[in-house]
Each structure stands twice: as C-alpha cells, then as structure tokens.
Structure 1
Amino acid sequence: MSTRDIVTTVRSLAGPSIEGPDAAILLAFDEPGTLTAAAGPGWVARWQAVCSLLELPADEDAAAPVDGMDLVAATTERLLAAAQGRRAARPRPAASQIVRAYLIFDAPEPLARRAAALAMTLAGACTKPGTPAEIAERLAGAMAQLREAAEAEPTIANLDPVSRVVAAAAATAGIACRPSHLYPGTMVLGEGARQVRFDHSLPLTAPSMGSKLSSDKLLTKRFLAGLGIPVLPCRIATTADAAVLAAERIGFPVVIKPTDGSLSRGVMLAVADAAEVPAAFAKAMEAGNLAMIEPYLDTPDFRATVIGGRIAIVMRRNRPYVVGDGTHAIAWLIERHNADLAAGRANFPAGYPLTVDGEMLWTLGRAGRSLETVPARGERVEVRTTPMRSRGGYPVEVTADTHPDNIQLFERIATVLDMPITALDFRAEAVERPWREQKFAILEANARPSITDIEANRLAAQLLRAVFPEPAASRLPTVLVLATGDAAAAALAQVPGVGYAGPEGIFLGGIRIGGEPPSLAAAHDRIVEDPTARVALHWTTAERIAERGLGLARIDHAFLPADAAGAVPDLVRRHADRVEVLPAGDGTTAPVLAAIARLDRR
C-alpha cells in the first residue's frame, strides 16, 4: 500500500469544498485498486484489536470498514478523537471527481495531516506479520506525539465550556467560528473585517468603559451609585487590622472579597465577628489586590443576565446542602450526594459534585459542625456560603416571576454600561416584588459571565443575534482566479482591504507574511483572521487544487480560463456564485479588480 500524498482541507465555516459542515480529509492513493481490495475479515479483526490496545474510541453506530480506504478514514477519525478527548464519529464519504474523500470531525490541518499519516501506517502494519500487541507497541510513541500535538493546537474542543456553547450556536446560525491562532484563548466569529473576537462570552468589541468597570467591583459601585442604582456601601482594606476596623464600622455580619476577583474566588460571606476577619481578609488577598468589606444582606442570591439590552434570564442561585438521616456523618452524606448526582437522583440539580475544601470546612466550622458531625434526620445542612454552580450550588430560573420594575432596572444598568452581555449579581428578598419595596442591592456586574447554568444554547443564540443581526454578512467575500502565474497578479496583493494568496505568498495589508501556502484552505484561514481584510483573493492553478483540494466552502466570484474543462473547473463552478471567463494578456487583472470593488462592502 502506497500513497502519493495525504491531502487535507481544514474546517470551513459553512462547509468544506466537498460538502457538509465539518472538516474533510482527502486521501489520494497511487494504487486505489490494491488498497480497496486489501481489507477483509482478517485484516479488519487485527485492526480492531490494535485500535483497542491503543485505546482509540470507536463509533458504536458504525459498521466495520468495507475496504482499505474506508478503514484508513475510520482510523484517522479514531486517532483524532483519541487525541482531542472526544467520542469518535463515523466518517461520511463525500463524492468528488478528484479524489475519494471522507468528511471527519472538525480538526486543524496540521493535526489532521499527522493523524492521516499515522492512520496509513497503522492500517498498513495490520497487513504485515506481527501480533496486534506488537503493532500497538511500535505505534505507541507516535500516538503519544499526536496527543501532544492536539493539546498544543487551538481547537474548539480545547476551549472552555462557555466558548464551546458559543461555537455551537455559531454553527447553528451559520456564522464562521474558529479558535484564534494569533490571540490564544479567544475565538474568531465572522471573517476578516466582519469578525468579532470572543473572550469566553465577552465580544471584544465591547466598549472599554463597561469592560473596565466590570473588572473592578469598587469602580462599578461608585459609578452605579452615582446614577441612583442601589448598591451596598463598602470600605477598602489593605491590611488585616484595617479590615477588622472597617468591618466593625459597617457592622457584622459582613462580606469580605477582592475588588478585582471573579467566579467567587476569595469571597467570604456572612463573616460574623472580628475573630473571623483575618482569615477572610487573607483569602480575599490571595485572589486580588485589595479587599472590599461590605454589609451582608441576608437574602436569597440572584443573577440577571441581560443580552443586547434586553433581559435574557433571571436565576435564583441556591447554596448546596445535604440532608441528615440521623445516622451518617456529613462526610458520608457528601459522598452519597455525589453518587446520587452521578446517577441523576440527587436532592437538587447541581452541575458539579461537592468537593471538600477550605471554604466548606470554614462554613461547617462557623456553625459548630465538622465532617464528622451527624445531622438529625431531615436536617438541612448548607455546606457552602457561596451558591456558585461550579462549587456545587444549583440555579433555578425565575424570569417569569420577576417584577417588571426589577427587569426595567436590570436593562437600565446594562444600557448604562453599554455592554452586549452583562450578568448582574444581586440580592433581594423576593424577585416578585419591586426592588424599591424590599431589601435589595446590586452586588456586581460581570462582562464575561458563564452562560452554561440554564438554557445555555438559548442564551448563546441570543448573544450571537445581538452581535450578528445578519449572520450571512459575517462571511468574507471570496474571489478565486484559476490561472497560471502572471506577474501582474502580484499587484493585487497591494490592493487595500484585500487578503491575497498566490504563488508569491500570502499578503495581508500589503505585507507578505509567508510563502506559497500549502493549500487554499490554509491560506484562507490566515486571511479571514485579519480584521482589516474586506475581500479574500486566491490566485491559483487547477493542478494545485487537484493536489491539495479546493478548501473553500463558497466562492463569490470565480475567474476561469476560456478553455477550462475537467474536474477542477467543474468543482469551482459548483461552489461559485458567479463565474467569468478570464481574459488573456494585459487585461487579466482589470475584471478581478472590478469584482473586488463590487464585493468590498465597507
């Protein structure tokens, strides 16, 4: 079994050059007849044994590969699934007049190439002498290297849960989405000048004032208080002694937290007396630069998320607890809760199990309890002071019960902060009553909140509608020129707003950033991440497309030679909205410039 090349097209936001929404791995073989006939019951059985020894996940719904190319594609998908820590999916065959192609899970081109090469090696090894154990041992090192490469490569699968929810919503809406190679940890939604970068749930086009305010609790309090919005008074401390004095002046119980923390890190609620202040102060300083002391409002805890200036959801956030049975200690009750949670029968719908840590021990200790305490039958014991879902708390949606006056207040705050998404943490006696008629205070505003607690898909979709009112407009217009090298084409690389890829290399903003790209797909990935690009221009040949794949889901305007015929021109025509004959001679670039001008919608 031999291979001329393993050709890979990377993920394309509306689908690759073949069909479907995900990546396409294109395998081109010198001897397809031999490879097709190679797979048989004996070979497949050996292949399955090797996959099992290498712990490659299998698609439970997939039938056994029927020929050699199917087997290589299935191996590639299993290798990528193992490297990226996910379940394998069955590769879907995609019709192509150029090569036999398989659609696989979204994967960046370098990783897909490595996996396809290893898949060829694995499949070939199964046709030669040796036990499955011997084959697996020989390939273990390459498998470890593939995992390391996957961990180093920014992919959707490697992002945090909120980013993955946003990415899924983008796919549903037809909005381009890819992890950024230039700004690690962020995602790029949209293409070129139409892109918006996301950090977690925060679009990075958000006004800087709102972002700065939300990162500093003290600034937020001062700003909102000046606009008549109810916030709690506070004092700042830089030493434990100053914190004790501040707490005494405010009056116990108090809350002590960092001014610049997030995710409830360093927050201690209901600090009861001066003896508890030093430990709470130290915890706050571990998570921030200054400690803030404010009154403890002994009411339920809520969060209101506002997206695009409109209320999206209001949640009551409840502290985790265990219920005594009169026989077992709290430690056993926690273990039982976690087991029930895993089995889907816990007392409350927590997102995460309860873990024993300093906060839990502190919470129990201040109530005169420990992990060895045996609560009475039916006694409810709260094991944390914070209601965060990631700490075992559980949210309940109360949007429909929230009084219109409260919703009006939340939307006013979001408008004042001018943020596309804002999560407001507040305390109130009851959301059903107007805020003016009860104990009520806004605690803080979050610019990049988690949206995975309740209705994650709905909230992500609402966020994207606020940022991208017209999803189709987020795509970068693309021009493809199919021609041999032309010295005049180099001038197109200097056209303002054009991201250019051709024989001379890749040019962004008129600056050459690399040599001739390995494929159109790889070049396009570089172009669409340039926030100044308004049009992508690919100048290439039929031979390169035949060798490397088209890699473009959609072409707005294609230029083909007058005598263009065969598989490659036919493939281009299927993906192009508009096709024009490319004139020869000195007039080659004039119609290309006209197409660019037509598509350059500023």
Structure 2
Amino acid sequence: MNKKTIEIINVMSLRGPNLWTYRPVIEAWVDIGDLEDSPSNTIPGFYERLTAWLPGLIEHRCGIGERGGFLLRLRDGTWPAHIMEHVMIELQNLAGVQTGFGKARETSKRGVYKVAVRARYEEVGRAALVAARDLVMAAIEDKPYDVSGTVKNLSELAESVALGPSTASIVDTAGERRIPALRLNDGNLVQLGYGHRSRRIWTAETDQTSAIAESISSDKDLTKSLLSSCGVPIPEGRMVSSPDDAWDAAEDIGIPVVVKPSDGNHGRGVSTDLNTREDVIAAFHLADKEGSGVIVERFIRGDEHRLLIVGGKLVAAAKGEIATVTGDGVSNVTELINSQLNTDPRRGESEEFPLNVITYEEEPTVLLVLERQGLGPDSVPEAGKTVLIQRHGNVAFDITDEVHPQVAAAASLAARIVGLDIAGVDLVAQDISRPLEEQGGAIVEVNAGPGLLMHLKPASGKPRPVGQAIVEHLFPEQVNGRVPLVGVTGSRGKTMVTRLIGRMLQLHGPNAAVACSDGLFLGQRRMDKNDCANWQAAHRVLMNRAVEAAVIEHGFRSILTEGIAYDRCQVGVVTNIDDDASLPDLYIDDADQVFNVARTQVDIVLPDGIAVLNGADERVARMAELCDGDVIFFSASPDNDVVAQHRAQGGRAVYLRNGQVILANGAHETSLVKMSAIGISNLDKRAYVAENVLAAVAAGWALGIASDVILAAAETFDYGA
C-alpha cells in the first residue's frame, strides 16, 4: 500500500536556546512515508507549481549560500521535509513575521525527519507548519491551494499575538545591547533583564511611571492647573457640565474655543476653532461621548505638535497637518475622502500605519467640520473647491531638528511637573523653532504611555531611535540587566553540583535561587519540592525580582524538548557525558549526538563568561573550542593531558593532587582544602562525588567567590550518604 503523504507526528516549541539555534524554534517530526522515494525532481510539474505560488523562494540561499540556492536544490531533487522547512519560512515572511533560520534532518527511522524553523511567535509558527504541509502536498498532488488566503490568515494571527510596534522597538533595541527580554503576558508587558536587575515596560510606560502621575495626566483640568502654577504656558479654560455651560465658558474665555473630553486621547472627540453657539453645543455632545467630562478652552492658532520626553530629555517631535480634499464637481465628500486621503499608503487601520483611515465612525468630528462648511457626506463640492476634513489627528510628520531649545525645556518641565518619566507633550504653535511666549503658543496636554509609531515610522522626515532612548533611560551605559547566572548540565552529578554552587552563592551574599531536580530554592527556603530542572521553573526564577543570582540545572531531555529558559549565562558547567548516553525516544541515538545537545550550555556562555568543563571527559573537553568566553577545566588527576596543556597556555584548572583540592592558574597552584576534611562519607565508593565537588569549586571560582567562602560551602554542604 502506497503512503505518499506527509504526517506531522510531533510538534515541540523550544522557547529558548536549543539543539538547533540560540532562538526559539518550532521543532516538528514529520513522516513522509513513501515520499522518501520521490524527491522533488521526480514529481512532474512540482517545481513550477511551488515556485508559481511562492516566487519569494528564489531568495532562499539554503546550504549553497547564494540567492536561488534552494531552488537549485529543488531542481536537483530534495525531499518533502526539507521543502516544508523553506515553505514554512516563506509563509511566515509573507505574513510579516521575518524568519530566516530553518533546518531539516533525517532521523534513524526511515521517512521520519526533524524540521526546525525559527518561530518568533509560537502560534504563528505552528499554523505555518500545518499550512506548509498542506501547500507542499497540494503541489505534489497537483491540487489548487489558496496561498493568499493562507497568508492573510497568518498575518491576522501574527497581528493578534505579536508585540505592538512601539514595544517591539524597545525590545529590539534591548536585544542589540544584549539585554534579555521576557514577555510576561499576551500583550505588551515585557520584562527587560533578569531578577533584581530587571525593569518592566508596558509599551511606553515603565516601572518608573507612577500611578499618581498617570492619573494626573488623564485629568486634563488638573494637569493644566499644575502646569499653570509652575509658569508653563497653557490655554485658559475650564470644565463644563452642560451644553449651555459650554457656551457660557466660551463667551467668558472668548471665541474661538476648543471643546474636548477631559480624559480622552488620540484626539478623539476634540473640536477646534469653534465660533458659534451651535458649533460649541454640537462639539460638547461629541466630547461628552468620549470621556467622563468636557473642557472648553481658548483656541490657540497654529499647528499641533507632539514632543516625546524620555527621562527629562526631548528625543523626538512630530507635527500635525490639516487634512483636506479638493472637489471635482462629480464626487461627493465621502468619495473624495476615500480617493484622495484613504488611498495614501501611509494610512491604515493597524498600528503599523502612521496615519489613520478617515471614517465617520472613527472620526465623528469630521461630520461637525463638514457641517460648519455647509456640507455633508453626500455633498458634491464644486470643482477646485478645497474642503477641510480634519484639523487634527495627523501628528506624524517629523520636526525633531526644528524644535527650539526653550520649547524643549518647557515640554520637559511639563513632564516633570506631572511626574512622568516618559511623556507625550502636546502643544500648539505656529512656529516650533521659536519660543512659545513669542507666538502665543501653549502646552495643551501631557500624556502617559504615548504612542511611539509617529516617531518610529513618520509620514515624512527621519525615523527617530525612541526605543534606544527608552532603553538607555532604563539601563545606563554598561548596565545590561543581568544577574550572575550559572547553568549546569551533564549525564550525572548535575543536581549536586547545582546545589553546591547555590550554597556558595548563599554564603557569598546574594539572594540566590536554585532550580534543580531536588526542587526550587530561594535563599534558605525551599519554594517547590517537585523536579524543577525545567524551563518553567527557570522562568519563575528569572522573573523573580528578589533573585540576585541563580543556578539552574538542565537535563538533556529538557534542552531537547523545551530549550533553555535564558539567552546567555555567565558560567556554563558540563559535568560529563556517559559513553552509553542516548535518548532514543527523541531520536538521539548515541553519545556523539548527546554531545550536540550538551554543547548548548557552552554555546550560550557570554563572551566575558566562563565554561567549566570536565577535562577527563574527551567529549566535554572538546567543547572548550566552542566557548565564546574563557574555560576552567576540572579533573580528578593533575596529569590529565587536557588540563596540562590548558595550564601551559596560562589557563585555569581545578584538580586533586595528593588528596588536596588545587586551584591552578597557569603554573601557579593554590591548595584549597584536603578532600578528607570535607566530610564526604564512603568517598572510596563514591569517587564521582569528588568530581562534583571539583566542578562546583571551579564554578565558584569562575563567579569570583572568595576561596574562604568556597571552602566554607564545601565543608558545610550535606553530601548525603
């Protein structure tokens, strides 16, 4: 019986560094059945169908390393699992989720392959996997396939689960500085850094943004009162309680006036340049729908501007432009808006567009603006007539370099008065390059959690590095948000090594967390008695803002099925790899394949970090050349060739000589303690324990822990029977 189909038999989300790469991936096991005997060059029309559906595949370099490399493989003949890998990548790219990494590898079982593809968002990766299988099968069987519909669905899924562009700009900038990021919810709450050195952001709000300041900024009347008392120029105005009261206020202030919600945002419900009772009353009703109160204030002549203040400094500024259409004597106003404004590629409904699509539902003030001109949506303006559509809401044109220093200072003062570390200061001025007082300009609002897109992707002008400014505000130069972090893996001894290193850190001073097979420990307290040598427990440690240092155990199975919870570590320890090590249920069939799993712990050691490796284990010792940082070898024997050669090159090692634990730095040796003094029972029958002690001592040395503290930890640790 022929079985020419592709079956997805297992899917794993590897959410951190893993066997394949540093980044999260979706790993799928696929069974291609009898298609093992049908490479791509044996299927009539397959190449033409696939490339017609996905012409972007020409950009895939594949292992050949040049444009068109994958298509060359496709012509010469390759197998469905490899093709699925590239289709999965291309579908995510078309959906706006940029992906470049992918691998497909045979397993020891005929027809079964492992396919691993970078997955920025797990949900999108899983959906792209299924879509890739279906598309490849359609191309094999010469059946129709709706590529555009699939891409649309993936795009919508990506938009629903992805970080917003403002948050993403901050996270991406943090990544460039090697500051790790942990997403804390399905939205835009993100932790930058680990443990007690971490900071948190929620779009453009940070853990320094106080609730009081945010409450003040949302109360426009209170904000104006505070700004006025400190000499910041503001428009006169007051809260009003009814349409009649709004007109009374307008008369007291003097027309023209502005009517707006007291706690609105994004310009919704704001009506400007109002001169008649009818206009003010109509504007009151619009504003009343948007907020909990209504303000009437003096109309300031000029353009709207948004100044972004971060940590007291101006980092970006944008200007608004009036939206108009020109009549043609045939089209009505609605048709003119759609043809002359909404066709602008800079307008869209999602966050990625700097300008909004103009609709009467989203922008009800447009109807009032038209009414004041004697027009309605169905009116047909005469040819050449300019019709005002929107006086505000288009603040997306970069003018950062034009801002007068005194204007920047006034905006910075306004943010400080309200108490916001990050603020969007709205002001109206005719010329932003002149002081406000000279032109009767004024600050009209101070906003918490300001949008960043107008500065990241302005409708015109230069994009501004606002994400960088926020990261620098949270993490001054040389601060990377990391705590001392040790990762431990190996075939044997890793739990004991993990706990002994944790004991050293506890005596050293930091509030150290330990996640291992024996449970989860914070300081002297056992938080969880279950096996915590896994991704979830490690993630709990990294999120805990009381943690000042961490030691985390990883088994080979955990690395293969979950990935490592952190991106990089200061110290990576590999205790050993047994000669008979294997995980056949995961298609890891021998110790040489286990080597590729264990090396993950060494691959993620920071450039200024240290790998602690067993010099007596040939496979583990080979990992030294893979480490970005330094290496400390440990060995029961000082005569080990690896250790001797390493010392000859000035390297560090920990070993036993005449029963003494020795710390060697090049040719220099320091005796730490006699092994017999540590109090390990039945040492002659538990030689592996001595090796564990050496590994932990080497890790403590790598962390910079003083010798007397390492000694005290070794002497007081409970090694069991």
Structure-1-length-normalised TM-score: 0.77
Q: Please, which of 366, 372, 378 is the counterpart of residue 372 of structure 2?
A: 366
Distance 1:33 1:373, change over 3 A: closer
Residues 1:410 and 2:411 are matched in the alignment: yes
User: Per-residue deviation at 1:519?
Assistant: 5.3
Of 288-297 and 200-209, deviating more is 200-209
Q: Please, which of 260, 264, 268 is the counterpart of residue 261 of structure 1?
A: 264
Q: 2-side partners of 1:121 and 1:208: how far apart?
A: 49
Q: 1-side partners of 2:255 and 2:195: how far apart?
A: 54
Residues 1:533 and 2:547 are matched in the alignment: yes
Report the counterpart of residue 336 of structure 2 in structure 1: 333
User: Per-residue deviation at 1:376?
Assistant: 5.1
Alignment identity in percent?
Answer: 20
Report the counterpart of residue 167 of structure 1 in structure 2: 171
Q: 2-side partners of 1:541 and 1:341: how far apart?
A: 54
Residues 1:74 and 2:77 are matched in the alignment: no
Report the counterpart of residue 572 of structure 1 in structure 2: 601
Report the counterpart of residue 419 of structure 1 in structure 2: 420
Partner SS, residue 531 of structure 1 = coil
Quote the RMSD (CA, aligned, Å): 4.7
CA contact (8 A) 1:422 1:449 kept: yes
CA contact (8 A) 1:558 1:578 kept: yes
Question: In the comparison of the two structures, how many residue pairs are matched?
Answer: 568
Matches within 5 A, 1:308-319: 308-319=311-322
Partner SS, residue 284 of structure 2 = helix
Distance 1:225 1:33, change over 3 A: same
Distance 1:11 1:180, change over 3 A: same
CA contact (8 A) 1:9 1:23 kept: yes
**What code does the residue aligned with 2:426 have?**
D
Partner SS, residue 584 of structure 1 = helix
**What code does the residue aligned with 1:578 have?**
I
Residues 1:441 and 2:446 are matched in the alignment: no
User: Per-residue deviation at 1:249?
Assistant: 2.6
Matches within 5 A, 1:140-219: 155=161, 157=162, 159-181=163-185, 184-219=187-222
Q: 1-side partners of 2:369 and 2:250: how far apart?
A: 19
User: Per-residue deviation at 1:263?
Assistant: 1.0
Partner SS, residue 316 of structure 2 = strand
**What code does the residue aligned with 1:584 have?**
V
Matches within 5 A, 1:124-143: 132=143
User: Per-residue deviation at 1:505?
Assistant: 5.5
> Residues 576-601 of structure 1: CA distance to partner in whole angstroms, max 9, x if unpaired?
331235772695896499479759xx
Residues 1:503 and 2:517 are matched in the alignment: yes
User: Per-residue deviation at 1:171?
Assistant: 3.6
CA contact (8 A) 1:8 1:112 kept: no
CA contact (8 A) 1:319 1:394 kept: no
Report the counterpart of residue 59 of structure 2 in structure 1: 61
Q: 1-side partners of 2:124 and 2:702: how far apart?
A: 33
Matches within 5 A, 1:219-230: 219-230=222-233
Partner SS, residue 320 of structure 2 = strand
User: Per-residue deviation at 1:470?
Assistant: 3.4
Partner SS, residue 81 of structure 2 = helix
Distance 1:529 1:379, change over 3 A: farther
Partner SS, residue 390 of structure 2 = coil
User: Per-residue deviation at 1:321?
Assistant: 1.0
User: Per-residue deviation at 1:256?
Assistant: 1.8
CA contact (8 A) 2:426 2:445 kept: yes
**Structure with bigger gyration radius:** 2
**What code does the residue aligned with 2:397 have?**
V
CA contact (8 A) 2:89 2:100 kept: yes
Report the counterpart of residue 297 of structure 2 in structure 1: 294
CA contact (8 A) 2:488 2:601 kept: no
Distance 1:408 1:211, change over 3 A: same
Report the counterpart of residue 451 of structure 2 in structure 1: 450
Distance 1:508 1:264, change over 3 A: farther
Gaps in structure 2 of 5+ consecutive residues = 1-5, 61-69, 348-352, 580-591, 615-633, 635-687, 706-721
Report the counterpart of residue 387 of structure 2 in structure 1: 381
Distance 1:406 1:591, change over 3 A: same
Q: 2-side partners of 1:57 and 1:170: how far apart?
A: 34
User: Per-residue deviation at 1:201?
Assistant: 1.6
**What code does the residue aligned with 1:449 have?**
P
Report the counterpart of residue 561 of structure 1 in structure 2: 575
**What code does the residue aligned with 2:96 have?**
R
User: Per-residue deviation at 1:267?
Assistant: 1.7
User: Per-residue deviation at 1:538?
Assistant: 1.9
User: Per-residue deviation at 1:339?
Assistant: 6.4
Q: 2-side partners of 1:436 and 1:171: how far apart?
A: 42
Q: 2-side partners of 1:195 and 1:61: how far apart?
A: 39
User: Per-residue deviation at 1:364?
Assistant: 0.8
User: Per-residue deviation at 1:60?
Assistant: 5.8
Q: 2-side partners of 1:506 and 1:36: how far apart?
A: 46
CA contact (8 A) 1:175 1:471 kept: no
CA contact (8 A) 1:5 1:27 kept: yes
Gaps in structure 1 of 5+ consecutive residues = none
> Residues 364-421 of structure 1: CA distance to partner in whole angstroms, max 9, x if unpaired?
1112223344445544322123x21xxxx25433333333322232233334445332
CA contact (8 A) 1:165 1:456 kept: no
CA contact (8 A) 2:82 2:104 kept: no
CA contact (8 A) 1:154 1:180 kept: no
**What code does the residue aligned with 2:227 have?**
L
User: Per-residue deviation at 1:448?
Assistant: 1.5
Partner SS, residue 578 of structure 1 = strand
Of 87-96 and 275-284, deviating more is 87-96
Partner SS, residue 453 of structure 2 = coil
User: Per-residue deviation at 1:424?
Assistant: 1.2
CA contact (8 A) 1:256 1:281 kept: yes
